[in-house]
Amino acid sequence: MTALKNDRFLRALLKQPVDVTPVWMMRQAGRYLPEYRATRARAGDFVSLMKNPELACEVTIQPLDRYPQIDAAILFSDILTIPDAMGQGLYFETGEGPRFKMHVSSMADIEALPVPDPEKDLGYVMDAVRTIRRELNGRVPLIGFSGSPWTLATYMVEGGSSKDFRKTKAMLYNSPEAMHALLDKLALSVTSYLNGQIKAGAQAVQIFDSWGGALSSAAYQEFSLAYMRKIVSGLIREHEGRRVPVILFTKGGGLWLESMAEAGAEALGLDWTCDIGSARARVGDKVALQGNMDPAVLYSSPESIRAEVARILASYGQGSGHVFNLGHGITPEVDPENAKAFFAAVHELSAQYHQ
């Protein structure tokens, strides 16, 4: 087991003292980087890149090589690997996003879905985790991840992306027993999948609830948060002699932070619509917080980026328990030099809050 040279990300998630606020960025291995675009071109397409452990490792590490301030690597993969392993047939349409050849519309469809075995059915992901851990050689921790059951269900029922989730919400309200059956099977699958990543070497895991914010408050509690809580309760929490922190991220979930803080995770991810200082006051010492700069700030000047970083750091205030991140993923059109300004500003400006 290689000792971690930089563990401030893990320590901040556990609210332990750090020298500066750790930072990483959702989608930090992505299309804004020319080196990523070159590797993706070599792979042929996104799915081929994702399913090649060596190339997935290459793009995971690319941003670390460019930006030495990054305090964590995140596995290069996709949230839709589980539905694909269930036989839904994932593919990507240019300009249209992810699509599935099959979609779920009945209890019979749900009952026919298998619970994927991490090593047999998603072995390329586990191989990627092992490869990345080996190549990182203790440089920074590796984050594993999955989509939340609710988020995965929306893609499986709609057959792809959706603006209004018409089919998914119709199932939720017309056939709640079918939706619960689907979510229960997905919760089992996500738990197994994340535990597989942890066994393979992931040192923290994040659950991406990209579409939980589309639900009403009551529906969020019943159809999203309840299943994330179930997953957290089933995860391996100690591995390689360390705690394995869990981060829950519901985009648009600012209304439910108190409930989320009781779900058993170490940290909550915040999108940019929620003031981080107010969020800290609401959750107290129950969880760490991750976030939450608006990704669009990265289209501005380095001076404006620095000012927004300073504002968010001041809003959170003194002490550990903050992992700096964007409120969602970096977008493809961002100038890589602006990302550099972002990472540098977090480390430079945060030291005063850890004295």
Contact 249, 209 (CB under 8 A): yes
100-146 per-position pLDDT tens digit: 999 999 999 999 999 999 999 999 999 999 999 999 999 999 999 99
- Predicted pLDDT at 95: 67
Is 294 marked as a binding-site residue?
no
The chain-wide mean pLDDT, for the chain, equals 96
29-271 maps to CATH 3.20.20.210: yes
pTM: 0.97
Q: Where are the alpha helices (DSSP H) in the chain?
A: 8-13, 34-43, 46-50, 53-66, 81-83, 107-111, 118-121, 123-136, 149-158, 166-174, 176-200, 217-220, 226-233, 257-261, 276-283, 302-316, 336-350
The share of the chain scoring above pLDDT 70, in percent, equals 99
Residue 41, Cβ neighbours under 10 Å: how many? Answer: 10
Strand-pair partners of 247: 206, 267
Is 78 marked as a binding-site residue?
yes
Is 155 marked as a binding-site residue?
yes
Question: Which residues does the annotation mark as catalytic?
Answer: 27, 31, 40, 78, 155
Is 27 marked as a binding-site residue?
yes
Give residue limits of the domains in the chain: 29-271
User: pLDDT grade, residue 245 (50/70/90)?
Assistant: very high
51-101 per-position pLDDT tens digit: 999 999 999 999 999 999 999 999 999 999 999 999 999 888 776 688 899
- Predicted pLDDT at 307: 98
Tokens of 69: 């301030």
Rounded mean pLDDT, 12-33 = 97
Contact 37, 339 (CB under 8 A): no
- Predicted pLDDT at 91: 87
Residue 312: phi, psi to the nearest 5?
Answer: -65, -40
The answer for 186, left when phi > 0, alpha when psi is -120 to 50, beta otherwise, is alpha
- Predicted pLDDT at 1: 62
173-226 per-position pLDDT tens digit: 999 999 999 999 999 999 999 999 999 999 999 999 999 999 999 999 999 999
pLDDT of residue 158 exceeding 90, the answer is: yes
Q: For the chain, what's the residue count? A: 355
Q: Give dist(CA 118, CA 296) in Å, integer.
A: 36
Is 210 marked as a binding-site residue?
yes
Rounded mean pLDDT, 321-348 = 98
Is 31 marked as a binding-site residue?
yes
Rounded mean pLDDT, 301-318 = 98
Is 263 marked as a binding-site residue?
no
